[in-house]
Amino acid sequence: MMSPPARTGADLLVRPAQSLDREGIWRLLSPVLRKGETYALPRHWGRRQALAYWMDVEHRVYVAQTRDHEIVGTFYLQSNQKGGGSHISNAGFVARSGFGAGRLMAEEALAEAAKLGFRAMQFNFVVSSNLRAVTLWKSLGFRVIGTLPGAFDHPSKGYVDALVMWKDLLPPGV
């Protein structure tokens, strides 16, 4: 399968991840996992477990890099479910702040999902206290279609809600 072309922002390049990107991806994932504030993944995971999850064979993995090749963001794109639910996409994102990688990667993920024929994108578990993510998704047209009360055990805020967010990728009526 041929890799999709890279997409550029002002100072960033978003491209499919390569095996050599694993260390840069780990440098992004490690502090996010340790903090435990935004992903319902084990905080104790080491490099091997985290990269096995992120780079899973069913994930299409991408990175955002600066002009000097520093990886400042990564995302994966996948089917949200198997079989009868495989027409809906899902994605996961991690970005360092200050580079604009989050928005650029989100736009790339939506475009790629549409190109791949997905009818919508669904996020199953957006931690409600992750205001940067919730604000970004809403600005890109996602809507909250469900709230899971107290579903996330935040390390400093206690039990907070998780949101199910949805965005149609097809024009109305299709």
Tens digit of each residue's pLDDT (9 = 90 or more) over 133-154: 999 999 999 999 999 999 999 9
| Predicted local confidence at residue 170, as pLDDT | 87
Indicate the DSSP class of residue 5: P
User: The pTM is what?
Assistant: 0.90
Q: How many residues does the chain have?
A: 174
Which segments of 3-159 does DSSP mark as H helices, in order? 22-35, 47-54, 101-115, 131-139
Q: Which amino acid is at 35?
A: K
Q: How far apart are CA 92 and CA 100, in angstroms?
A: 16
Q: Give percent of the chain with pLDDT exceeding 90.
A: 90
| Predicted local confidence at residue 22, as pLDDT | 97
| Predicted local confidence at residue 161, as pLDDT | 98
Q: Is the pLDDT at 85 greater than 70, yes or no?
A: yes
Q: How far apart are CA 5 and CA 30, in angstroms?
A: 28
- Find all residues with CB under 8 Å of 42, minimum gap 6, and list them: 33, 49
Is residue 129 a contact partner of residue 151, using CB atoms and an 8 Å limit? Answer: no
* pLDDT band at 171; cut points 50, 70, 90: confident
Rg (CA), the chain: 16
| Predicted local confidence at residue 2, as pLDDT | 40
Between these two residues, 154 and 9, which has the higher pLDDT value?
A: 154
Give the least confident one: 6-10, 51-55, 114-118, 156-160.
6-10
Q: Quick one: which of 68, 162, 60, 172 has its CA closest to 108?
A: 60
Q: How far apart are CA 21 and CA 14, in angstroms?
A: 12
Q: Give percent of the chain with pLDDT exceeding 70.
A: 93
Q: Quick one: which of 169, 157, 161 has its CA closest to 144?
A: 161
Sheet holding 7-8, edge to edge: 7-8, 12-16, 60-66, 71-79, 88-95, 120-127, 158-168, 143-154
Q: Scanning the structure block, which residue is given the tokens 């064979």?
A: 57
End-to-end CA distance of the chain: 28
- Find all residues with CB under 8 Å of 115, minimum gap 6, and list them: 4
